[in-house]
Amino acid sequence: MDIGRSRLLAAVARYGSMTAAADRLAYTPSAVSQQIRKLEGELGLQVLDRHAKGVDLTDAGRAVVEHVAGMERELAALEEQLEHIRGARAGTLRLGTFPTFGASLLPFAITSFTARHPGVSLTVRSARLAGLLELLHTREIEMAVLWDYEWSRLDERGLSIQQLLLDPTRLVVSAGHRLAGRTGTGFGELARERWITRADRHPVVDVLLRTCQAAGFEPAVAFEAHDYQEAQAMVAAGLGVALVPQLALSGVREDVRVLDLGGQAPVRRIMLAHSADRAPSPVGTAMAKILREVVREGAGSATPRRADGRKRRDDSPPPH
């Protein structure tokens, strides 16, 4: 059965005659009549009862028109839903992130996104770099926030990558440390320090080794922490000092101080990635725009913050 001819029959029923339907649809009456005859041939049933005063629907004709009306409603509902998806007012977004970004800038982006796009179902997955790459390749997430350093540039085939920001490395010392009253230092003053670093070959271990070796010494590691808050606690206790990415300093203890290293420590590149063969959805494009806005505004990252969320007064804002 031809759907177009069925809809033409519905127009005849709506406007009362084949002549009126032809006039409204820019057909000739004979063309309308011919299409209705073809429909009857397809169905093997008469859909119009033709008489001197016009036409009436037969039982078969009424059944066709009722179903066409249902299809019209479904098509209208589908178009409305597609328009919502097109305008990022509906749909689903699956986003990947890594812990320090998830604990610093991402909450600002999520708050803004959900306020602007309340009809979108947002799911966030947090993982380390290898896990995020796997989730992207298996399409379990649409897009992900990733990172790399200059000695391990991410050159992953099949990914489209855009830089979001550069995340500098800071030095964290205890409040009683000899450098605690300073806003910055150089690595030449740190050769005799003991270091708090991360366990399980975390990337910051490479940052520490490469930076110390470039300054001419090997770091003496006093403790391997499993997260940055644990590292801060060991620093506060005076066990050593630590290198920490800026994004990991969204909550700074009262008993530690954060120092700038004057560009002597590596900078981490933060990026947004999606599959190169898959154009971002409207909701993905909307999230990417918000992430760039949050980064540009520097929400929560420009100045180290105390654990209660207030900016520290004893540390000068580090350069962007």
Whether the pLDDT of residue 319 is over 50: the answer is no
> What is the average pLDDT score of the chain?
87
Whether the pLDDT of residue 304 is over 60: the answer is no
The pLDDT score that the predictor gives to residue 100 is 94
Contact 284, 271 (CB under 8 A): no
Give percent of the chain above pLDDT 90: 56
The pLDDT score that the predictor gives to residue 194 is 98
Q: Per the confidence metrics, is the pTM higher than 0.85? A: no
How far is Cα 15 from Cα 112, in angstroms, rounded to an integer? Answer: 49
Instruction: Find where tokens 């000899």 sit.
Output: 178
Among 135, 130, 138, 154, residue whose Cα is nearest residue 96? 135
In this structure, the chain runs to a length of 320
The pLDDT score that the predictor gives to residue 273 is 96
* pLDDT mean over 280-300: 87
Give percent of the chain above pLDDT 70: 89
How far is Cα 264 from Cα 232, in angstroms, rounded to an integer? Answer: 21
The pLDDT score that the predictor gives to residue 89 is 63
pLDDT digits (tens, 9 = 90+) for 89-104: 668 899 999 999 999 9
Whether the pLDDT of residue 261 is over 90: the answer is yes
